Amino acid sequence: MTDSSTPAVPWWREYPDRLRWEIRELNSRGIKFSIDRAALSAGVMRMYVVVRSSAITTELEVTFPDLYPHFRPSARSSTLRLGHHLDPFGGDVCLIARGSRHWSESDSLGWLLEEQLPKVLADLIDPDQAEPISALMSYVPNSAVLIESDLLPPEEVTTGELWIAATSVFPDGSDPWLGAVEVCSWAEGSVDGEATRALGLSNRFEGSWFRLQDAPASTDAAKLWRTDISTPEQVVNDKVAVAYQLMLFPEEHAPGRTGTGAALLTRLSLSQPRATRRLSGQRGPIPAPSYALVRTSRVGANDRSSRVPELDDVSLASILIVGCGALGSLIAEQLARAGVGELILVDGDVLDAGNLVRHSADIFDVGLTKASAVGRVAKRSAPGISVEVHEFMVGRASSGMRPLEESPMVRLTEAVERSHVVIDATAEIAVHEVLSKMALARRTTLVVAEGSPGAWGGTVATIPAGASACGNCLEFSRQGGLVPSPPANSVRVQPIGCSEPTFTGAGYDLAEVALQAVRATVSEVRRIDPAETVIDIVELRDPSGVPVLPRWNRVHIARREECEWH
């Protein structure tokens, strides 16, 4: 092992033949160059090159990465003006695509400049991706503002008002800062954000927005700030005033297609009058306002589904999950990320810190019911999702103190009736029987997910609406030995403070079962698979408990003549 205190050897010293070869390549191609000796003494190989062709002479600053030749060198120009393949703010010239697969160690700087540069200058490289200007701008670190593409005003409108919510007053770049544009309005109308409002950020500010006719020419927030439009200032703690402007501008969203880009401008200024400052002992000129440019991040339902177009149709689905423990929480989180429209969560058990070894919630959810904790997980994963929480245990005796329409059984029945798919993640036989009967009577698909003791394996049963075999047929098949049992570890532990023993098992093993349950659920919502009852069995350990590659086996369940449910 290399001593971490030993300085890394620069690549040109570790591979001196490589540097000599690079120089020969440049000379053989007639490319003039000089090495920046000051940069070299600082441990950076930087060259200034002059590339001449019949049409143009191009001067570039080329910097080699520390891990050269595994990664390509970068080129920068302060004079080029190109429509594509150039960062207009930093001057970086994109000679080849960013992925390292586009660069080979057999390539040289001379090849890049002789072969690729003329294509870039002549715009002969057909862009296979958009080059949005917002992706090239420099922003304050550790900060972002969430917007929804559907929330942006019509292109013909040039200015208006907005409401923004944020985690704190001003993004100073040190502490994490998150904002969310909740409302954009103008003289003739307004649009509200569903996902951004759902975040429930506590600090709300009024601001303004404006639209540029061309892409911004700078990333300096002070220069971009518009003084010709009315922007409200909000005084905080009687000391400072904060103001927000959302800047909209045209940018490329797909090759040859223009859309609306966005960035947030923020300004923080001292609000105390001079007399107040003198009384408090403050002297000297009033400090100049501080400005910041904040990146936008798109969080709308259409923005999210554009990354997985095949999941567009799941946004209308309502999914009921009974049991929000290890499996149920993982299933809920992934369904939320997949874009389902609504999750109905049922579990009255309380989340303990020890549960987090295999639960998708975090330490700040401890003490909530598991249904509430998983609801928060779903909201954090997909702010626009609708979440309904029922904090009761299926089968537990009712107190009788509530109206009949609020009883657990009535609420469970209504939830099943509203759902496209019901997921049983309780690992309770009686709950499985109740949900099987309810789903069958209401022609609702049922998915049953279980991990075996120790999480050595697990099963995912799918009983589609209209299938010939029901949940009871599945149980007959299990009892008849037609469904193999996954490996299991019978060891149980009772952690300190727990009312009963629990199984051992890791979250990463249960995740294998949970993800198959998600696949089965999404397939049922999209009606991909035929309507037949199946059970998928996974082995994650061999009989002695040694981890193995997940091995899945599917068993098709036929209707049983002895089943009295039909």
**pLDDT per residue as tens digits for the range 156-192:** 999 999 999 999 999 999 999 999 999 999 988 998 8
SS (H, E, C) 178-192: EEEEEEEEECCEEEE
Answer whether the bond into residue 69 is a cis peptide, omega within 30°: yes
pLDDT digits (tens, 9 = 90+) for 293-320: 999 999 988 888 889 988 888 999 999 9
Cβ–Cβ < 8 Å for 427, 514: no
31 closest CA partner among 57, 65, 55: 57
Say what the pTM is: 0.88
pLDDT of residue 305: 86
Cβ contact 94:128 at 8 Å: no
CA atoms of 146 and 195, how far apart (whole Å): 9
Residue segments in the chain with a per-residue pLDDT below the cut of 50? 1-2, 274-275, 277, 279
pLDDT, position 281: 56
Residue 243, helix vs strand vs coil: strand
Q: CA separation (Å) from 187 to 159, 204, 250, 378, 387?
A: 9, 21, 22, 36, 34
The pLDDT score that the predictor gives to residue 200 is 84
pLDDT for res 275: 46
Are the beta carbons of 495 and 502 closer than 8 angstroms? yes
Cβ neighbours, 10 Å, residue 543? 9
The residues, ordered by sequence, that sit 6+ positions from 479 with a Cβ below 8 Å of its Cβ are: none
Place of tokens 């390292």: 100
Burial of 83 (0-12, 13-18, 19+ CB in 10 A): exposed
Task: Give the chain's count of helices (H) and strands (E).
Answer: 15, 24
Question: In degrees rounded to 5, what are phi and psi of residue 243?
Answer: -140, 150
d(CA 357, CA 371): 17
Q: Computed over its alpha carbons, how large is the radius of gyration of the chain?
A: 31
d(CA 533, CA 476): 13
412 contacts 369 by C-beta, under 8 angstroms: no
Q: Measured between alpha carbons, how far is residue 59 from residues 114, 184, 530 in Å?
A: 13, 45, 63
Please provide the size of the chain in residues: 566
pLDDT of residue 1: 43
